[in-house]
Amino acid sequence: MAVSIKQMALIVATFGVLSFIFGVIAENKKPASGTPITGKGVVICKYPSDPTVVLGYLSVSFLAATTASGYLSLFYPYKGQSVPQAALFRSNTFLVFFNLAMGLAGLAATFLLWPTVTEQLHIARNVHHNQQTECPTAKTGLLGGGAFLSLDASLFWLIALMLANNAREDYFEEVKSASKVEDAHVISTDCDEGDGALKQSGA
């Protein structure tokens, strides 16, 4: 099924917003700390049941989806017409926003994965031999920051898509103009050859 630029933009934006929402909720649901329970030479940290880890991974998954769909949207052959990547990257503005989108996506993934994995490890390894442990959780603010970076990345993908569309139109106009010039040259050559033949026959 053919996909239009508007549909691809909607897909990219939807995945980006979902990543943002799950990241923000994960940040809000994350407990400040666990409850230490002292045993024989160990401290067992009891953490309240919360969906932080699941929400964090969901946010990362939708970030990956918006990045993949954003990248695909730039080079997808809309209406069956493909454009060489070199034609898109000739635009310095497109190149800048493409690199910004890739960089923000990578940074967002780091900000989302780091606290999510850390939180999972805290929950799984909750037995400590250090009697002074305070049952920490993942660093506060990283999930929220990652959520905003994920939303920013999707916005930059949309801007890059807009610039890619402009580059596509310019490319097809150049191809059309070059085709017209070539056709005119062929017609002119044919006319010149015809005139030469008439002169020879008249002679």
Strands (DSSP E) along 49-184, which ranges?
127-128
Please give the pLDDT value at position 45: 87
Please give the pLDDT value at position 159: 95
First to last CA, the chain: 63
Q: Which residue has the higher pLDDT, 44 or 20?
A: 20
Cβ atoms within 10 A of the Cβ of 6, count?
Answer: 8
**Residue at 89: amino acid letter:** F
Distance CA 14, CA 165 (A): 20
Beta pairing, strands 43-46 & 35-38: antiparallel
Residue among 93, 65, 68 at smallest CA distance from 165: 93
Is pLDDT of 194 > 70?
no
Burial call 178-192: b when 16+ CB within 10 Å, e when fewer: eeeeeeeeeeeeeee
91-137 pLDDT tens trace: 889 999 999 999 999 999 999 999 999 999 988 888 888 877 888 88
Our measurement of the distance from residue 77's CA atom to the centroid of its chain's CA atoms, rounded to an integer in Å, reads: 18
Please give the pLDDT value at position 71: 95
Answer yes or no: are the C-beta atoms of 146 and 59 closer than 8 Å.
yes
Answer yes or no: are the C-beta atoms of 137 and 34 closer than 8 Å.
yes
Average pLDDT value for residue range 64-79: 92
134-183 pLDDT tens trace: 888 888 999 999 999 999 999 999 999 999 988 888 887 876 776 655 55
17-35 pLDDT tens trace: 999 999 999 999 998 888 8
Our measurement of the distance from residue 118's CA atom to the centroid of its chain's CA atoms, rounded to an integer in Å, reads: 24
Q: How many helices (H) and strands (E) does the chain have?
A: 5, 3
Is pLDDT of 190 > 70?
no
Answer yes or no: are the C-beta atoms of 69 and 8 closer than 8 Å.
yes
Please give the pLDDT value at position 78: 86
Please give the pLDDT value at position 198: 47
> 82 Cβ partners below 8 Å, 6+ apart?
75
> Rounded to the nearest 5 degrees, what angle is found at the Cα of 179, between the Cα atoms of 160 and 195?
165
Please give the pLDDT value at position 18: 97
